[in-house]
Structure 1
Amino acid sequence: MTSTATVAPYRSAQHAGRDGFLRTLHGEWTKFRTVRGWVIGMVVAGLVTVAVGLLGAAGSSIACSGPDGGSCDHTPLLGPGGEEVRDSMTLVHRPLTGDGGITVRITSLTGLYAPGGRMQVGAAPGTGMTAGVQPWAKAGVIVKNGTEQGSAYAAVALTGSHGVRMQYDYTHDLAGTPGAASPSTPRWLRLTRTGDTLTGYDSTDGTHWTTIGTARLAGLPATVQVGLFTTSPEYVVTTSGSSGDGGPSKATAAFDSVALRGRTGGTWTRDLVGGPDRGPAADTSDLGYEQSGGTYTLTGSGDVAPQVPGRGSPGKTVESTLVGAFAGLIVVAVVATMFVTAEYRRGLIRTTLTANPRRGRVLAAKAAVVGAVSFATGLAAAATALPLVESVEKGKHFPMYPTPFATDVRVVVGTAALFAVTAVLALALGTALRRSAGAVTAVVVAIVLPYILAVAAVLPAGPSRWLTRLTPAAAFAVQQSVHQYAQVSADYTPADGYFPLAPWAGFAVLCGYAAAAVAAAAVLLRRRDA
C-alpha cells in the first residue's frame, strides 16, 4: 500500500512581501486621493507658497537717485562670467600691445575710514576719518581689458591684512606671500602676459620670485591696459555676531621701481573706474595719484570683487522668489499629520491594521504616499513661483542675481524635497503623538520658527547660524543660490541668504530628524494598541 503526499507549490516570500507592500501602497494612495480635504489641502499648500511670494514682491519697492538727482540705473554690473560684480578703483594705466608685463615695489599701504558717514575732502584722522586700512584694501598691478566696469582683468595686489593675492575676473582669488609692506620690508609684485595667459609673481627682495598662479582670460584683445591700482571697500562693524555700523574707506599706497616690459605706448593716465557714483563714498576729489620722481602715490576707494547680497545691494536672489515655502510647509504638515491622526480619531486605524497586520509596512506606505504627493506639490509650487515672483521683482526694477540654469533646477527640486521630507516627519510625529495639533506644532517649532527667526534677522547672526545648523530648518539651505567669497568681507548670515551648511548637507540634517522620527513612530506603532 502506498501513500501520496500533497506538496504545496513554491511561492517566493520576497515577491509576496513586495506584492503585499504594493497592495498596501495602492490602498493608502486610494485612501488619500478619495478624501477631498487632503487633496484640497495640498493644492492650498502650493497656492500659498506662490501667493506669499507674490505678495512679498508686490509689497517691495526700490528708490534711489543718481547724479544730479536723476534716476538710478538698476541694471546690475556683470562680470565676464555673468555674475554681479563691483568694479571701482583708482587706476593709473597705459596701453600694452601683445606680450609684456609690469613689475613694481610697494613700500606702504595705509588707510582711512569714515564711521557712519561720507568721505570728506582732504580728511585726516581726527576730522571725521579714522586711521586704519581695511583687511581687503588692495594696491598692486593690473592688466585689464579696457577701463570699462566689469571687463576682464588679472591683478597681483598687496592687501590690508591678507598678504599678497592674485585675483582675476572678480571671483577668483589665489594666495601669495603673507604679511604687510613697509619701507624696510617692501613687497615686489609682477604680472606678465603671454597671449591670453596672465601669470602673477611676488618677491620680498626683487630678486627671488615666487609664482602665485596663472589665469587664462579667453578672448583678451591684442591691446590691453596695464598699470597700477588702489581700492578699498567699505568697512563693517560686527557686534554680537550681527552687522552694525559701517561706512566708506580709502587706501593710499606708495609704489616705486616701476618697470614695464613689452610694447607700451602713451603716458600714464589716471581713471576713477566706477565714475563719480560710488554710493556713500561719492566724494572723489581726493582720490587720485601723485608722481614724484620714480615714486607713485595712489589713493583709491571702492572694490574689485563679486557683489554679494546684504552688502549694499538691493538685488534679489532665486531664493527670495520662494519665500512663501515656509507657509506652504505649514499646510503640508497639517495634511500629513491628518493622514494618520484622522484614522486614530475615527477609530479606522484598527481596520487598517487588521487588513495589514505588518504595521511597519503601513507606516512605510503612508510615508511614501504623503512624501510623493508633497514632492509633487512643492515641485509645482516652486516651478511656478520662481518665474512669476521674479517677473514682479523685475517689473519693480529690482536687479536679479544671475544664476545658472542648473542652480535654478537644484533650488526648485530641493524645495520639492524639502516639502516631501517635512511631510514624512509630520506623518511620523502624528503617528507617535496621535494628535494633529501636537504634531503640527512640533513641525512649526522645529522647522518654520527657526527659519523665520534666522532669515528675518530677529536673532543675532551667531544664534541664527546655530539654529540653521542644528535644527531641521537647516534644510532651507537647499534654496541657497548665492556664493560666499573669501575675498569679500560680508556678514554671510541667513538673513542675507547664506546658510552655515552646504545645500545638501543642510537637507541631510532634516533627513536625519525625519529618519529618527519614522523609526520611533514604527516602534510605538508596533508596541501600542490601535
Structure 2
Amino acid sequence: MTTSLLRAVRAEWAKLRSVRSTGAALLATVALVVLIGVLTAEGGHSSYGGPTRLDGFTFVHRPATGDVTVTAEVTSQADTAPWAKAGLMLKSGTGSGSPSVSLMLTPGHGVRMQAARGTEEFTGSGGAAAPYWLRLTRSGGRVTGAESADGRTWHTVGSVPDTGLPATAEAGTFVASPPFARSHWAGPGKVVGSAQATTGRAVFDHLTASGPSGATAGGAEAGVPGGAGAWQLTDVEQPPGPAGMPARTAGPGTLHEAGTAFTVTGSGDVGTPGVGGIGQDGDSDTVASTLSGVQIGLFAVIALGVLAMTSEYRTRTIRTTFTVSPHRGRVLAAKALVVAAGVFAAGLVACAASFLIAQPIQRGNGYGPPIFPRHSLTDPVVLRAVAGTAAFLALVALLSLAVGVIVRRTAAAVILLFTVLVVIPLVAQVTSVGAGLWVGRATPIAGAAIRQTQPLFENAIGPWPGFAVLAAYTAVALGAAFWLQRRRDA
C-alpha cells in the first residue's frame, strides 16, 4: 500500500512538474505575496513609532538639589483604569516631556518604574496593591527605585544610571489615569475611535525627602534638603501630539492635605508609547500586515488547485491515469499530497520573504520600538503566522482540487471558488458590519485569520478557530471528491 502510494505520488509530481502552468502559478504566488506585502508596508505610516512623549498628569512637588531620597506610602488608590498611576517622581522641571524617573503603583499591573530619557522600564511586584510603600533614591547621576509592603523591608525594582536630571530637580508624588479608549464599527469599512476620560485618585502618607545626612522633611511647611518651599501642585500638560490627541482629557488635578496625608487626583498618562501601558495608535498588527499579499496570492493558488484536476478531464488523459492506476482514491490522494506540498513550500518562501523585506520598511515608516516591538522569524507567534499562512494557502489549494474533482469544469470551479473566497468577503465588508463578521467566521476565508498576531477588535475570529473552519470545509470537500471519484466512469 505504501509503495503503491509512493509510486502514485512520484507519477503525479512528474505529471504536475511537466505542465508549464504549474511553475507559473507557484512563481506568481510568491511574487504576489511579496509584492503586496511590500506595497502595504510602503503605504503604512505611524506617528508614534519613535520616542514621542505623552506626559500629562498631576504633580505634587518641591525642588531638591543633589542626592535625595523620596519615600511615601500609597495608602489607597482608585481603580479607574488598569494603567492608572500613583507614585513618586524626580523630574527636571514641570514641562511635558522633560527628563524624569518615576516609580508607580498601578491597579492592574502592580509596581512599575520607568525613565523618560529612553524606553527603560522595570517591573516590580506584579500583585502589589495599596497600601504599599515606594522609594526613589538619587545618588550622583543614578536613580534607584525600591518597594516595600511594610515600610521596613525594601526590595530594589530597578536602577537607571543616566537619567539626564539636573543638579536641582523637582521631587514629589504624581497621579495619572489614562483615558479609556475604544474603537468600534460605525458602518461598513468605517472605524471610529473614541476616548472616555478617567480621573485617578490616590492617598499618600509619610511623604518624606532625605538628603545624605539623613535629615528628613515632610508636610506642607517643612523644607526639603537642598531645596525649599511648600509642596506645589502642577498640572503637567502635554500639547496635542501628531494625532491631535492630548494625554489629558479630564479637568485639572486637586490636592487635599489632612495632617500628613495627601489626597491627589489627576488624569492623563506618563511616559513614551509602548512603555508603562501607553498604547496610542498601537492597534495595528504589523506581522499580519506583511502577510496581506496572501489575499491576492489566492488567485494563483486557486488556479493551480483547480487545473491540477480539471486539465486531465479537459484533455481526457484522466482515463489513461486511471488505467495505469486503477485505485482512484490513491490517485486523488497522491494529487492532493503533491499539490499541498508544492503550494506550502512556495507559500512558506513567499511569506518568509515578505515578512523579512517588509519589516525594515515598516520601521522606517514609524512602526518601530517601543510601541511596535521588533519581531523575528524565531518568535513563536511570528513563526505560527508565517508557517500558518503557508498552510492556509495549501488548504485553499486542496479545497480547489476537491472542487475541481466535483465540478470537473475549469471555469465553473474557478468562478465558484473566487466567489466564495474573494467576492463574497469583499461584498460583505462594504455592505454590512454584521455580514462582514459572519463571513469572516463561517466561510472558508476564516482560515486567513491564522496570520493574526494581535487581538484587534475588528478580527472576526481567532487564528486557530479560523484555520479550523477552513480545514473543516476542505475535509468535507475532499471527502465528497473521493466519494464521487470512485463512483464515476471517469
TM-score by length of 1: 0.66
Contact 1:141 1:189 in 2 (8 A): no
Contact 2:73 2:134 in 1 (8 A): yes
Matched, 1:21 2:5: yes
Q: Distance in 2 between matches of 1:439 and 1:290?
A: 69
1:215-254 correspondence to structure 2 within 5 Å = 217=157, 227-233=173-179, 235-236=181-182, 238=184, 246-247=193-194, 249-254=196-201
Task: Describe the SS at the equivalent of 1:280.
Answer: coil
Cα distance change of structure 1 residues 438 and 311 upon mapping to structure 2, 3 Å threshold:
farther
Contact 1:140 1:229 in 2 (8 A): yes
Matched, 1:142 2:87: yes
What's the counterpart of residue 421 of structure 2? 447
1:231 partner amino acid: S
Deviation at 1:446, TM superposition (A): 3.3
Question: Which residue of 256, 267, 286 corresponds with 1:300?
Answer: 267
> Residue deviations 1:280-303, cap 9 Å, x none?
344969865343433544332358
Contact 1:166 1:176 in 2 (8 A): yes
Q: Which range moved further: 300-309 or 344-353? A: 300-309
Matched, 1:379 2:342: no
Contact 1:91 1:228 in 2 (8 A): yes
Task: Describe the SS at the equivalent of 1:510.
Answer: helix
1:403-482 correspondence to structure 2 within 5 Å = 403-405=374-376, 406=379, 407-449=381-423, 452=426, 458=430, 461-482=433-454
What's the counterpart of residue 37 of structure 1? 21
Cα distance change of structure 1 residues 434 and 311 upon mapping to structure 2, 3 Å threshold:
farther
Task: Describe the SS at the equivalent of 1:104.
Answer: strand
Question: Which residue of 430, 438, 457 corresponds with 1:492?
Answer: 457
Q: Which runs of 5+ in 1 are unaligned?
A: 1-16, 64-72, 79-85, 110-134, 158-163, 178-187, 202-214, 485-490
Question: Which residue of 76, 79, 101 corresponds with 2:50?
Answer: 76
Deviation at 1:444, TM superposition (A): 2.8
Counting aligned pairs with the same residue, the percent is 26
What's the counterpart of residue 39 of structure 2? 55
Contact 1:149 1:274 in 2 (8 A): no
Contact 2:443 2:469 in 1 (8 A): yes
Q: Distance in 1 between matches of 2:479 and 2:249?
A: 68
Contact 2:344 2:391 in 1 (8 A): yes
Matched, 1:390 2:390: no
Q: Distance in 2 between matches of 1:309 and 1:91?
A: 17
Deviation at 1:361, TM superposition (A): 0.8
Deviation at 1:250, TM superposition (A): 3.7
Deviation at 1:438, TM superposition (A): 2.8
Matched, 1:276 2:242: no
Q: How many corresponding residue pairs?
A: 429
> Residue deviations 1:321-349, cap 9 Å, x none?
22111111121110111001000111111
Q: Distance in 1 between matches of 2:99 and 2:489?
A: 71
Q: Which range moved further: 504-513 or 278-287? A: 278-287
1:325 partner amino acid: V
Contact 1:141 1:227 in 2 (8 A): yes
Task: Describe the SS at the equivalent of 1:76.
Answer: coil
What's the counterpart of residue 514 of structure 1? 474
Matched, 1:258 2:219: no
1:258 partner amino acid: D
Q: Distance in 2 between matches of 1:421 and 1:56?
A: 24
Q: Distance in 1 between matches of 2:100 and 2:340?
A: 45
> Residue deviations 1:57-97, cap 9 Å, x none?
44x2659xxxxxxxxx753359xxxxxxx964414366997
Contact 2:72 2:204 in 1 (8 A): no
What's the counterpart of residue 74 of structure 2? 103
Q: Distance in 1 between matches of 2:474 and 2:124?
A: 39
Q: Distance in 2 between matches of 1:492 and 1:150?
A: 34
Q: Distance in 2 between matches of 1:29 and 1:145?
A: 69
Cα distance change of structure 1 residues 466 and 290 upon mapping to structure 2, 3 Å threshold:
same
Contact 1:450 1:471 in 2 (8 A): no
What's the counterpart of residue 113 of structure 1? none
Contact 2:74 2:202 in 1 (8 A): no
Deviation at 1:253, TM superposition (A): 4.5
1:340-355 correspondence to structure 2 within 5 Å = 340-355=309-324
Task: Describe the SS at the equivalent of 1:293.
Answer: strand
Cα distance change of structure 1 residues 244 and 343 upon mapping to structure 2, 3 Å threshold:
closer
Q: Which range moved further: 219-228 or 247-256? A: 219-228
Q: Which runs of 5+ in 2 are unaligned?
A: 92-96, 113-120, 137-143, 166-170, 211-215, 218-223, 225-229
Contact 2:81 2:180 in 1 (8 A): no
Q: Which range moved further: 228-237 or 281-290? A: 281-290
Deviation at 1:524, TM superposition (A): 0.8
What's the counterpart of residue 141 of structure 2? none
Task: Describe the SS at the equivalent of 1:522.
Answer: helix
Cα distance change of structure 1 residues 171 and 198 upon mapping to structure 2, 3 Å threshold:
closer
Cα distance change of structure 1 residues 443 and 151 upon mapping to structure 2, 3 Å threshold:
farther
Q: Distance in 1 between matches of 2:100 and 2:461?
A: 29
Cα distance change of structure 1 residues 166 and 449 upon mapping to structure 2, 3 Å threshold:
farther
